[in-house]
């Protein structure tokens, strides 16, 4: 998930490509302060990079920009449009992710047509200061309650991602663990391997 806080004068496309070279498996473009026109211009550039590396490209929150750039999907929060309404706007074949912090929210999102859930914050985070904390037991309960993939988010770094082993998650959304690092490509590669290890342990726990 992108965040221009750590660009330090670089272009966002540069840092995103470094993450993709390191093995990032999906890119979510998040811009809260940008005009729709500027957002769309940036989205088309990042979409082209994602196509080059063969990974899905997701827009955060902005349905109009997602439609305009023909993104692979969109991620919406609890205060944004309902997944059912988003599906009506985007049509079939697009990926819809929904943020959830409780089992009830997760089940509703699944019933409404979400393809995956973003659950967190699983650890304290400085990226979203208003993020609600989701305890490990709640994360595990959400994973057990739904049949769609659950992606953990919030304060996830190399030193703590494996603490999510056994929860049932199928992925991790990362911000500063990649973009705040000096070597973004290396950080992305390291987090990919740790995420694979964590998911493998989740699968083993289900056996």
Selected catalytic residue, list 21, 84, 128, 201: 128
What interhelical angle do 103-111 and 136-145 show, nearest 10? 30
Catalytic residue, chosen from 94, 99, 167, 176, is 99
Q: Is 96 helix (H, G, I), strand (E, B) or coil?
A: strand
Per the residue annotation, which of 30, 87, 94, 185 is the catalytic one? 30
All residues at 6 or more sequence positions from 80 whose CB lies less than 8 Å from its CB, including other chains: 61
Active site residue 111: no
Q: Known catalytic residue: 99? A: yes
Per the annotation, the verdict on 52 as an active-site residue is no
Q: What is the DSSP string of 73-84?
A: EEEE-TTS--HH
Q: How many CA atoms lie within 13 A of 33 on its CB side?
A: 3
Instruction: With residue 89 as reference, give the H or E element that holds it.
Output: helix 83-90
Q: Active-site positions?
A: 30, 99, 128
């Amino acid at each position: 998930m992108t965040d221009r806080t750590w660009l330090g004068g670089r272009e966002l496309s540069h840092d995103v490509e470094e993450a993709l070279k390191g093995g990032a498996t999906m890119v979510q473009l998040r811009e809260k302060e940008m005009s729709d026109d500027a957002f769309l211009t940036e989205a088309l550039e990042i979409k082209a990079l994602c196509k080059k590396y063969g990974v899905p490209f997701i827009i955060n929150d902005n349905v109009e920009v997602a439609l305009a750039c023909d993104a692979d999907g969109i991620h919406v929060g609890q205060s944004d449009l309902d997944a059912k309404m988003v599906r009506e706007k985007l049509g079939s074949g697009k990926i819809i992710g929904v943020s959830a912090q409780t089992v009830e929210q997760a089940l509703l999102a699944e019933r409404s047509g979400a393809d995956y859930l973003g659950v967190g914050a699983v650890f304290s985070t400085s990226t979203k200061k208003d993020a609600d904390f989701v305890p490990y037991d709640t994360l595990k309960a959400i994973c057990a309650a739904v049949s769609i993939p659950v992606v953990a988010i919030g304060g996830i770094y190399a030193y703590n991602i494996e603490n999510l082993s056994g929860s049932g998650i199928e992925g991790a959304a990362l911000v500063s663990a990649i973009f705040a690092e000096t070597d973004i490509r290396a950080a992305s590669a390291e987090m990919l391997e740790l995420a694979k290890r964590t998911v493998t342990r989740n699968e083993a726990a289900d056996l």
